[in-house]
Structure 1
Amino acid sequence: MDSLGALHAFVQAADADGFTEAGRKLGVSASAVSKAVQRLEDRLGARLFHRSTRSITLTPEGAMFLERCRRILCEFEAAETELSQTQAAPQGKLRVSFPSIGMLFMPKIAAFKRLYPQIELELDFTDRLVDVIDEGFDAVIRTGDHADSRLMTRTLGRYRRAIIGSPDYFANAEVPETPEDLARHPCLIYRFANTGKLDRWPLSRNGEPVHVELTNSVVMNTLEPQICLAESGLGIACVPDIAVARQLKAGSLISVLEPYLQAQTKISVMWPTSRHLSPRLRVFVDFVAENLLLA
């Protein structure tokens, strides 16, 4: 702290072009400021000021050292501000991007909002790979593996895909026992809104991918209609298992071909790399890590 005080005295003296004015701003004598700067020069082994009876001017070494001192003092001030903010209720705008599957998490986001009512949430839902920094997002929830050195990542968990249909549907159609059996069933297919491509169901046998030409009964670009139409008995769909956990437990949907759907997808929260994580972002990251994938 003595060193930090000396840095502060040096910066004030440089800004005021004299020890007297610097002492007035710091609430100490001009002599105290001069001695602090002298001790700093002795420690550094370099002269920071040219002194005369009327004024002081920075030496080349002093000018170089001044800019670094400003950064040090700014960092210290920012650290103080950050620490003081942690003692207050998190508040302010928090802009978060979710994939389309993020609609499943709205009950958890509602719980977060009730817990932190002073945080203003701005939520975006898209399967497009947004640029977190350039588009001004505070955080993103992403599925799959994404490498970006500009972002910090915290893994929230993993999910698998499930091929599902209603009990009524399977009462009137043969339950598929192999991936090839799917060709005889009307399928409810997801289309990626950002690319226009149809979702390929991630079937595998003995670790090798299995591709089956599916019969596209209905094509859509959101998850909820797939689940609704499957529950209505209009065909089968392949959706994240976390999206239909409640229906599978209640028996309104049945999962088939589970041995052929072993691949897992990671889901993570990512945010811009920063030394100063705001209180609102910190509580959001901690909350989703602890709660988002809980049943």
Structure 2
Amino acid sequence: MDRFGSLNAFIQAAETRSFTAAGQKLGVSSSAISKAVARLEERLGVRLFHRSTRTVTLTPEGALFLERCRRIFCEIEAAELELSQTQGTPRGKLRVSLPLVGMLMMPTLGAFMRAWPDIELDLDFTDRVVDVIEEGFDAVVRTGEVSDSRLMTRTLGTFRYKLVGSPAYLAEHGTPETPADLSTHRGLRHLYPSTGKIEDWPLHGTDGPAPADIRTATVASTIEPLIDLAEQGIGLACLPDFAIRNQLAEGTLVSVLDDTVRHSGTFRILWPSSRHLSPKLRAFVDFMSENLFRAG
């Protein structure tokens, strides 16, 4: 057997705990399985099985190697399935979890639904940490770093925060030139619903971080109300640029203190590594990455 065949022989022997049963599944003799495993052990320099006259059991090294081998074969099967489906039309239900700020992605999501009418989106908006695999999501969209080794990931785009106010508000209260100037202004603040804490504004002065000394006019657990109140001239808000792209372009909001707001983030889409990138998921990933943060 070649190297690939030796790995397959090892997996079958590990799962059946029998060289004979493994040989029957692969259509070869138990002796062939035994020799393939022996050659694999010699090449790796470790013992993979404890052998007895009635059964074989994995050594600790064998158990570790089995987990990796299963991943390899799973990826091969996924690649074959993915290639076999490349000509198929993306269709079916796609269950996706998005953060609460994902409500601001609705124009892009609506465009996706028009482009792929055979895909049914099941959208769950929440800021809690979801278990992608256990809760049965096809994918999740989140910010921050990825720490779950069970998940594959692709970057959708990056964003920056901007401190903004309406032209009318700035005309009445003045345009702040330094973070210290915010003490005479009114703040529209975001409240984390999961912790009840108010989100800090990422401001920096010449000497380092400069916490915003500003009177809070209102707090909200989602940012849509903050956008609306800022446009109404109620106060200043610190918001992700993708959420206020149209307002900035139309001039209903104006950014201030651009040199002092130093924070950026990345949106990523994640899906189970054990699951192939199906046509419907590939269509969603490609569309979101191409359109969500497109300029203009």
TM-score tier, shorter chain, comes to 0.7 to 0.9
Aligned partner of 1:134 in structure 2 is 134
Q: Which amino acid aligns with 1:290?
A: E
Aligned partner of 2:195 in structure 1 is 195
Q: Deviations over 1:46-83 (max 9, x none)?
A: 9xxxxxxxxxxxx979xxxxxx9xx9999987765443
Aligned partner of 2:253 in structure 1 is 253
Aligned partner of 2:16 in structure 1 is none
The reply to whether residue 90 of structure 1 matches residue 76 of structure 2 is no
* Aligned ranges 1:16-27 → 2 under 5 Å: none
Q: Deviations over 1:222-259 (max 9, x none)?
A: 11110111111111111111111111111111110111
Secondary structure of 1:86's partner? coil
Aligned partner of 1:31 in structure 2 is none
CA distance in 1, matches of 2:89, 2:246: 34
CA distance in 2, matches of 1:178, 1:141: 35
* Unaligned runs of at least 5 residues, structure 1: 16-35, 47-58, 62-67
Secondary structure of 1:226's partner? helix
* Aligned ranges 1:117-266 → 2 under 5 Å: 117-206=117-206, 208-266=208-266
Aligned CA RMSD, in angstroms, stands at: 3.5
Normalising to structure 1: TM-score of the pair? Answer: 0.73
Q: Which amino acid aligns with 1:285?
A: V
Secondary structure of 1:219's partner? strand
Cα distance, 1:134 vs structure 2: 2.0
* Unaligned runs of at least 5 residues, structure 2: 10-19, 37-52, 56-65
Do the aligned partners of residues 108 and 89 (structure 1) sit closer, same or farther apart at CA in structure 2, a change above 3 Å counting? same
Q: Which amino acid aligns with 2:102?
A: G
Normalising to structure 2: TM-score of the pair? Answer: 0.73
Secondary structure of 2:128's partner? coil
My pick for the range that moved more, 254-263 or 111-120, is: 111-120
CA distance in 1, matches of 2:233, 2:76: 63
The reply to whether residue 107 of structure 1 matches residue 84 of structure 2 is no
Secondary structure of 2:259's partner? helix
Cα distance, 1:261 vs structure 2: 0.8
Aligned residues: 254
Cα distance, 1:285 vs structure 2: 1.5
Q: Which amino acid aligns with 2:248?
A: L
Aligned partner of 2:287 in structure 1 is 287
* Aligned ranges 1:23-102 → 2 under 5 Å: 81-102=81-102
